[in-house]
Amino acid sequence: MIPIYEHNVIVLPSDIDENRHANNLCYLRWMNEAAIAHSNANGWLSQRYLELGSTWFARRHTIEYLIPALEGDELRVKTWISDWRNIRSTRKYRFVRKSDQAVISEAETLWAFVNLATGKPIRIPQIVTDSFVVVNEMF
């Protein structure tokens, strides 16, 4: 099990908006990519969730932008599970610029575990929670 997953991102020219920094939507994309990669690394690929007849739906994203990400920046997106609560889980993220280790953003997503057939939240199975380490405090 990988408690804190590190996902690498390079800020591309297409990520830059009219304010000359990475657009807000890029952070959501990078968060989603990091969450999926962390899940995959712990043995939970999309197909395995489908076999359970379930998946994760995002209920809420919160992003705090500390300094801008600029074209060419190499970022390390650190992500971890901070809690399990019956049908929900909180996943946190920290965006770190590799060149100087500056924290450029911190974020979290509240995920709901959902039955694909009904679209309704269901209890997260023990087999899923046992595959991840809860990290209450990163530092």
pLDDT tens digits, residue range 47-73? 999 999 999 999 999 999 999 999 999
DSSP three-state, residue 63: strand
End-to-end CA distance of the chain: 19
pLDDT bracket for residue 136 (50, 70, 90): confident
119/72 Cα distance (integer angstroms): 40
How large is the average pLDDT for residues 70-79?
98
**Where along the chain do its domains lie?**
5-129
| CB atoms near residue 76 (< 10 Å) | 15
Q: Model's pTM, two decimal places?
A: 0.94
Compute the mean pLDDT over every residue in the chain, rounded to the nearest whole number. 96
Question: Distance (Å, rounded) from C-alpha 11 to C-alpha 3?
Answer: 25
Per-residue confidence (pLDDT) for residue 137, from 0 to 100: 72
| CATH fold label, 5-129 | Thiol Ester Dehydrase; Chain A (3.10.129)
The larger pLDDT score, comparing residue 139 to residue 125, is at 125
Model pLDDT for residues 28-38, shown as the tens digit of each residue: 999 999 999 99
Express each pLDDT in 40-54 by its tens digit.
Answer: 999 999 999 999 999
- Confirm if 93 and 31 have CB atoms less than 8 A apart: yes
pLDDT at 138: 63
